Structure 1
Amino acid sequence: MAKSLQERIATAKSPRARVPDNETLLIEMRAEVERLTLARDAAVDQSTDFALDDDDRDQAAAKSARLDRTIKALEIEIGEVLEATDARKIDEARKAADAERSAALAERNAIAAKFADRVPALTAELIELFKLVQANEDRMRCAGVAEANAEMHARGIPAHGHIQMMRAPQFIKMNIPGFDYLELAWPINAERLHRTYA
């Protein structure tokens, strides 16, 4: 059986209220206020219609007073339902924001675990490869070979290092931070290289 308007209003102000249901109810309540207002205004007109007898005018006046009380009561209820709906929206927005923060942190933690697991090995592999490229580049230079180094050769970059009039960036010239300390893991400066092999 369908709930009465009073029951629906009580539900709308309860903690179990749903925002979409409340918004539908508010539309219906405002429509009811409009309907009752038209009926009240018609009763007011009848209460002052001299063509009607006293009993009819008295009944119309009583009806307009009842309708006016009902309208005022409904307007109070509309305010309370609106307040409850706004509070519910704020609560739902807060819960959604809390859930998003928790999800973002959980995602961060998963990525961080993967980063900690993979990056040291990946960077170590890159650095070893970069060392080989540099060592071979030095060897070619000493041997008088004026060719592109191994990285540039692999990437199809000519020995002069330019593509379409622009200098191509090189992997071996990028900075790789050390995972557990502030110094760069790559490039390895001479002082650190000396400490490593001393």
Structure 2
Amino acid sequence: MSVTGNCLESDVRVLFSSTARPPHLMVFGAVDFAHALIRSAKVLGYRVTLCDARPVFATPERFPEADEVVTMWPHEYLETQEISASTFICVLTHDPKFDVPALTVALRSGAGYVGAMGSRRTHHDRLGRLRAAGVTDTELTGLSSPIGLDLGAATPEETAISILGEIIAARRGGTGRPLGQVDGPIHRSAPVITEVPALTAG
């Protein structure tokens, strides 16, 4: 047995593996739909933040499944965060005083998904307010609104599946269409962990 720390083998292979941080779902709006969305996202392995400027609604007691509950104005919270393609933003408040500032920051943040809840009438009104706030049409192409896929969802739980389905499609490159209408493989390849030769001590 060597005690020098030198490698005794001439050909050594090591296994490198990396563990990515879980995707981060940011939910803005301590509303009823947020409960179902947070619960479902946690099942899928997301780290979830719930943020609302109203301390009476944004409490850990109301949202025990969230990894963190933040009481701040949404746009101010977003401005403090490191946001990447693995960040997914859902604005559920459908209140212009919250939505417009938050979406203005979110659409310029590099997030992998930005969605906003509301009726089609709310959506069109919101687009006008966002343009008035200086958001460009190019930036608006990154907004998923009304949020979610057309599943005919009727309950908060079904709406959560609709929203997360759209997020999964954005994250994985899916079309959101029925598989029976799509050609090609059903399952996309998962990341592969490879072995690489180690440097030989000498």
What is the TM-score when the length of structure 2 is the normalising length? Answer: 0.20
Determine which structure has the larger strand proportion and give its number.
Answer: 2
- Using CA pairs under 8 Å that are at least 6 residues apart, name the structure with larger relative contact order, 1 or 2: 2
